[in-house]
Amino acid sequence: MPVDVVGKVTEKRLVARDTIRIAIDAPEVAKDARPGQFVMICNTVPTFDPFLRRPFAITGAEWGRIELIIRVVGWGSALLANLSEGGEVRILGPLGNGFPDPKGGVILAAGGIGIAPLLFASRRWPSAELLYGEPSLDWVCDLSREKFCHFELSTDDGSAGEKCNVVKLLRKRLAASPLPVFACGPEPMLEAVAKACKRAKVDCFVSLEEHMACGVGACQGCAVLTKDGYKRVCKDGPVFDARKIEWGKR
Amino acid sequence: MSKLAVSVGSVRLKNPVLVASGCFGVGREYGELFDLSLLGGIVTKTVTREPRAGNPAPRLWETPSGMLNSIGLANPGIEVFIEKEIPFLNDVGCAVVVSIAGKVFEDFEELVRRLDPIECIDAIEINVSCPNVKEGGLAFGTSPETVESLVATLRPLTAKPLWVKLTPDATDIALIGRSAVNGGADALCAINTLTGMEIDVGRRVPRIGNIFAGLSGPAIRPVALAKVFTLHSALPDIPIVGIGGISEAGDAIAHMLAGASAVQVGSGIFRSPHLPLEVIRGIAEYCEFFDFAGARDITGALIIEG
């Protein structure tokens, strides 16, 4: 069950260009959180501009703390990235369905800030392998504190890891041994991941991103078109079986 | 009778705070966060005769101190609503107002006929002000003749109170309000969202799939207060339910001072799920501090000097 609480920011560090990682003390939110779920957060100051909360995938939920990776993409995320240690945020969660429990090994495919929920997955399921792509080295999140059983990095310009995109890494990996895939990233990447998984005949679950108002399933604002009609990204997702998504259709 | 209790015509509410249509579903989701029986009432997501899938995405865009939405009255239709949602609403422990919309008069008539025998429904809100549908929304709600004749058509079909939700897009909201009352409306709800639009100048496309959308949030509060005040001045004996930009208790009190007997909290819930409860508490404190015997005494208590 989600709760809405005020939590203190206990840790904050810059992990990549325009990207911070924060820990928020929120035991009630952390206790039942699972990888793929998200929270809606806003400042505690009584101002209404920006009006809506911002959804963020949960990157960690240990020791009563919710960890988030926030990449500045606009005004709302910029304000939240300006929070300092000791500051407070309103945090509503955990929300959404999360990834299913993998029965054995699983490949995590992260594009850009899509790394956020997949780090949580890699901690929860230590046999998971992580493939991570960014445009260039400056965008690559500092993952020096993480442990992976297998990790591959790609950048579009070759400034770190292999010079390709993460979908290419995935295709190579699937050719070696087919495993189910959990993916998060921009929509064109997810569509390509879904295609690669279909070809390799493996299950694929994608975590979608959409503008949200309520985050709990009440407003129906974050609709995504699926083979079963419109679904709410916040409540029916954000994790969907990739085969169900009507890619590129609104 | 509790200090917070108010009446909207014949509908008794334990407090003046309802949640607005479209922002709360029927309460299932927010019912996980707080006890729904603490509310004055729930106005359901609008139900239509047939199921509606809703408008193409994107359906949302945030604006300065507000938001645009174009959901397009997505709902499962009256059949499923009665089968699945009424049993839930039967147990919520607060007033239940069902919002209805249709493309033609016959749709509204059928909806009222279906809802009339259901005991847990305290009132029916006629939505003739949705900016996100082609037929039956603004096209109805901006025409005094259509509003009067629609309400007059529905009036004989049920003894339940009929509330009419008005659009701020009408040239003269008092004219539309009076038409609704002439048709037999028991109360007026004001306001629905304002028609709005945003443009992505880089890609040269509208931000919303349906191009037009409804503006809500703190940005529209001054418009809402002006409309409530205008309606109350023109029709002092008709109960008004104030809606628009309520983000804290003071906003709800402002609506009541302007003439509202009760209020509906809408998109403010998205930022603060517990907002309706904070508003209820704030109204109680206001009554205490300013020596109002009850919340009902705040209605129309605005002081206009000179």
Q: What is the pLDDT of residues A184-242, one digit of tens each?
A: 999 999 999 999 999 999 999 999 999 999 999 999 999 999 999 999 999 999 999 99
Q: Please give the average per-residue pLDDT across B64-78, as a whole number.
A: 97
Phi and psi torsions of B199, nearest 5°: -130, 135
Domain-embedded: residue A176: yes
Domain-embedded: residue A230: no
B130-166 pLDDT, tens per residue? Answer: 888 877 788 899 999 999 999 999 999 999 999 999 9
Domain-embedded: residue A89: yes
Q: Is B53 on the interface with A (CB under 8 A)?
A: yes
Residues A194 and A127 sit within 8 Å (Cβ to Cβ): no
Per-residue pLDDT for A94 more than 70? yes
- Does residue A15 sit in the same domain as residue A90? yes
- Does residue A68 sit in the same domain as residue A147? no
Helix or strand holding residue A60 (H, E): strand A60-62
Specify the CATH number for the domain of residue A86.
2.40.30.10
Q: Is B35 on the interface with A (CB under 8 A)?
A: no
How many domains does chain A divide into? 2
The conformation of residue B75, written as its DSSP 8-state character, comes to B
Q: Please give the average per-residue pLDDT across B23-47, as a whole number.
A: 97
B49 dihedral zone (left: phi>0; alpha: psi -120 to 50; beta) = alpha
B40-50 pLDDT, tens per residue? Answer: 999 999 999 99
Domain-embedded: residue A86: yes
CA B284, CA B3: separation in Å to the nearest integer? 8
- Does residue A115 sit in the same domain as residue A90? no
Interface of B with A in 159-188 (CB under 8 A): none
**Above pLDDT 90, what percent of chain B?**
95
- Does residue A23 sit in the same domain as residue A111? no
Determine the distance in angstroms separating the CA of B87 from the nearest CA of chain A, rounded to an integer: 18
Indicate the pLDDT class of residue B1, thresholds 50, 70 and 90: low
Domain-embedded: residue A235: no
Interhelix angle B144-154/B173-183, nearest 10 degrees: 20
- The domain boundary residue, chosen from A70, A95, A120: A95
Domain that holds residue A185: 107-207
Q: Is A55 on the interface with B (CB under 8 A)?
A: no
- Does residue A91 sit in the same domain as residue A114? no
Specify the CATH number for the domain of residue A181.
3.40.50.80
Residues B71 and B55 sit within 8 Å (Cβ to Cβ): yes
Q: Which of B53, B62, B56, B68 is nearest to B209 (CA)?
A: B56
A146-169 pLDDT, tens per residue? Answer: 888 899 999 999 999 999 999 999
Q: What is the ipTM of this complex?
A: 0.93
User: Helices (DSSP H) in chain B: which residue ranges?
Assistant: 78-80, 86-90, 105-115, 138-141, 144-154, 173-183, 221-234, 249-258, 268-271, 275-289
Compare all CA atoms of chain A with the CA of B23 and give the residue at the minimum distance.
A219
- The domain boundary residue, chosen from A37, A72, A95: A95
Which residues, in sequence order, are CB contacts of A91 under 8 Å at separation 6+? Answer: A4, A5, A6, A7, A24, A26, A29, A39, A40, A41, A66
Task: Please list the residues that pair with A224 across neighbouring strands.
Answer: A231
CA A82, CA B204: separation in Å to the nearest integer? 31
- Which residues of B are identified as catalytic? 130
Question: Residue ranges of the domains in chain B?
Answer: 6-298
Per-residue pLDDT for B285 more than 80? yes
The CATH superfamily holding the domain B6-298 is: Aldolase class I (3.20.20.70)
Q: Which residues of A touch B54 (CB under 8 A)?
A: 220, 223, 230
Domain-embedded: residue A242: no
Q: Which residues of A touch B32 (CB under 8 A)?
A: 1-2, 216
- Does residue A78 sit in the same domain as residue A133? no
Domain-embedded: residue A14: yes
- Does residue A114 sit in the same domain as residue A168? yes
CB contact under 8 A, A223 and B57: yes
Domain-embedded: residue A225: no
pLDDT of residue A161: 94
CA A7, CA B103: separation in Å to the nearest integer? 47
